[in-house]
Amino acid sequence: MITMRMYDLIEKKRNGEALLPDEIHFFIDGYTNGDIPDYQVSAFLMAIYFQGMTEAERAELTAAMAASGDQIDLSPISGIKVDKHSTGGVGDTTTLILAPLVASAGVPVAKMSGRGLGHTGGTIDKLEAIPGFHVELTNDEFMNLVNKNKVSVVGQTGNLTPADKKLYSLRDVTATVNSIPLIASSIMSKKIASGADAIVLDVKTGAGAFMKDYQDAKELAEAMVSIGNHVGRKTMAVISDMSQPLGRVVGNALEVKEAIDTLRGNGPSDLTELCLELGSHMTVLAGMANSADEARKQLSENLNNGKALDRFKTFLSSQGGDSQVVDNPDLLPQAAQQIELTAKKSGTVSGIIADDVGTAAMMLGAGRATKESAIDLSVGIVLHKKIGDPVKEGEPLLTIHTNDSPIDAVKEKLYASIKVSDNGDDVAPSLIHDTIT
Ligand code: URA
Ligand code: CA
């Protein structure tokens, strides 16, 4: 028997050659079980960073990482299970809206979600702002709920993609996070291990996104779509704008309220549009509509005829949540104080740096600075103006919902994040930049 050596794989990748499937599995298996040390993997990651990977290598790496731990079998759920993944944004409430919305059109939504870290909020945190709601379900309970109501959301459990966890920590300290093949395989391995048949990706670009630059976002989207299709999961991506926060609010309970408004057909136009766009692709991939136009028409109707909102109520009560919050949002956690930030001069809003608004929300307690931090579900920021809106001196730009945070520092951060210009030629950025299939 010929034994493989990690040394040879490092050398091969350093010289720009493509690795064979067996070699990729040898690396992932050996690293996961501790046979291959961090120092060799560090060198290997740096070689990948500089030499890249072919489409076949990326797909093999993703499959090997997905197979490194538990893999969820969603086959007891009938229908085509479509998952949505966002690369992360500020005030991105789409999952809360999309899950009941597409379920109302017959799409089975079996969603595993996470908590937030840093300036982006997690879906589980937002849902926990609803009194009584819980995400700890057994596998049987989870699948039964999806079969019955077409929608359930649970927290991540089990040992999913341990190879990705180890690699991500190592990339973090070896300056190798920013590599398209490594990012794409990391994200896709988790989606594949969670059992989706088809995947809709929302790749964000702009100041508040992980991929700030449009070309990088496009390259990442193409890489992930290629991987998904290589490993037999229909995958498509939408590249959407995250130069300013999505919708008008940032903060957990505030975003639940915004989701309810949107499900009622009264949501902010950008958030509504993104949900219709992503939702119609999900509906088509699930085989519940023949075209994106047909799906969009159905979904828009369900926002206006109460079906999406009814599905949200059913979803909440099926997981112990108080569905009365839908008609009485005062039942959601509320902050003690509301403080307005007013414009220092008249003009047009020309920029709202999403990252900084997210950081301000985190300073209020809406997000976690570290994995262990406790968060305050009631606090956050409500934007009254968005890019392209005219504003008069003294008019409120936004309202801060706060309990006991360092308010002067938060105000300073927010003032610095909102630009008001005199020339009046600033317009709202377009929301959907591209669609990759
Ligand atoms: N998010 C991930 O899950 N993985 C990466 O590598 C980068 C962002
Ligand atoms: Ca929002």
Across 5-22, average pLDDT? 98
- In angstroms, what is the span from residue 89 Cα to ligand 1's centroid? 13
Looking at the CA of residue 190, tell me the nearest atom of ligand 1. 3
Distance 285 CA to ligand 2 centre (A): 26
Q: Which of 120, 177, 189, 212 has most ligand 1 atoms within 8 Å of its beta carbon, as the pocket-test mutant? A: 177
Residue 246 alpha carbon to ligand 2 centre in Å: 5
> Which DSSP symbol is given to 244?
S
Pocket test for ligand 1, best of 58, 112, 187, 199 (most atoms within 8 A of CB): 187
For residue range 293-331, what is the model confidence (pLDDT) as tens digits?
999 999 999 999 999 999 999 999 999 999 999 999 999
Could you tell me if the CB of 183 is within 6 A of ligand 1? yes
DSSP string, 116-172: -BTTB--HHHHHTTSTT------HHHHHHHHHHHSEEEEE--S-B-HHHHHHHHHHH
**Is 117 a residue whose pLDDT tops 90?**
no
**DSSP 8-state secondary structure symbol assigned to residue 19:** P
User: Which residues pair with residue 97 across a beta bridge?
Assistant: none
| Ligand with smallest separation from the Cα of 95 | 2
Cite the active site residues. Answer: 85, 164, 171, 186, 190
Residue 28 binned pLDDT confidence (cut-offs 50, 70, 90): very high
Which of the two residues, 48 and 2, has the higher pLDDT score? Answer: 48
Residue 186 CB less than 6 A away from ligand 1: yes
- Find the ligand nearest to 179 CA: 1
Confidence class of residue 119 from pLDDT cuts 50, 70 and 90?
A: low
Alpha carbons 399 and 383: distance in angstroms, whole number: 7
For ligand 1, what atom is nearest to the CA of residue 177?
A: 6
**Average pLDDT of the segment spanning 166-179:** 95
pLDDT over threshold 90, residue 424? no
Whole-number pLDDT of residue 23: 98
Kindly report the number of other CB atoms within 10 A of residue 297's CB atom. Answer: 14
Compute the distance from residue 58 Cα to the ligand 1 centre, in Å.
14
Q: Which residues surround ligand 2, an ion (CB under 5 A)?
A: 91, 93, 247, 249
pLDDT digits (tens, 9 = 90+) for 347-394: 999 999 998 999 999 999 998 878 788 899 999 999 999 999 999 999
Task: Report the predicted TM-score, pTM, of the whole model to 2 decimal places.
Answer: 0.94
> What integer pLDDT is reported at residue 180 of this predicted model?
97
Please give the pLDDT value at position 194. 94
Q: How far is the CA of 131 from the centre of ligand 2 (A)?
A: 20
In this predicted structure, what is the pLDDT of residue 120?
A: 66
Instruction: For residue 302, give the amino acid letter.
Output: N
Task: Please report which ligand is nearest the Cα atom of 178.
Answer: 1
| pLDDT tier for residue 88 given thresholds of 50, 70 and 90 | confident
Give the model's pLDDT for residue 114. Answer: 77
Q: For residue 1, is pLDDT > 60?
A: no
Which residues, in sequence order, are CB contacts of 299 under 8 Å at separation 6+?
101, 102, 104, 105, 275, 276, 279, 280, 283, 308
Measured in Å, residue 230 CA sits from the centre of ligand 1 at 19
C-alpha to C-alpha distance for 85 and 94, rounded to whole angstroms = 10
Lowest mean pLDDT among 81-90, 100-109, 412-421: 81-90
Question: Quick one: pLDDT at residue 302?
Answer: 98
Which ligand has the minimum distance to the alpha carbon of residue 120? 2
Give the integer Cα–Cα distance in Å for 12 and 15: 5
- Residue 261 CA, chain-centre distance (Å), reads 20
For a pLDDT cut of 70, what percent of the chain falls above it? 99
pLDDT at 79: 97
**Strand intervals (E) in 284-410:** 337-342, 347-352, 380-383, 390-391, 396-402
Most informative mutation of 48, 180, 186, 212 for ligand 1 (most atoms within 8 A of CB):
186
Is residue 150 within 8 Å of 106, Cβ to Cβ?
A: yes
Tokens of 295: 């799906």
Which pLDDT band holds residue 113 (cuts at 50, 70, 90)? confident
Residue 2 — very low, low, confident or very high, per pLDDT cuts 50/70/90?
low
**C-alpha pair distances (Å), 202 with each of 54, 330, 391, 436:** 23, 31, 31, 10
User: Which protein residue's CA is at the shortest distance from atom 3 of ligand 1?
Assistant: 187
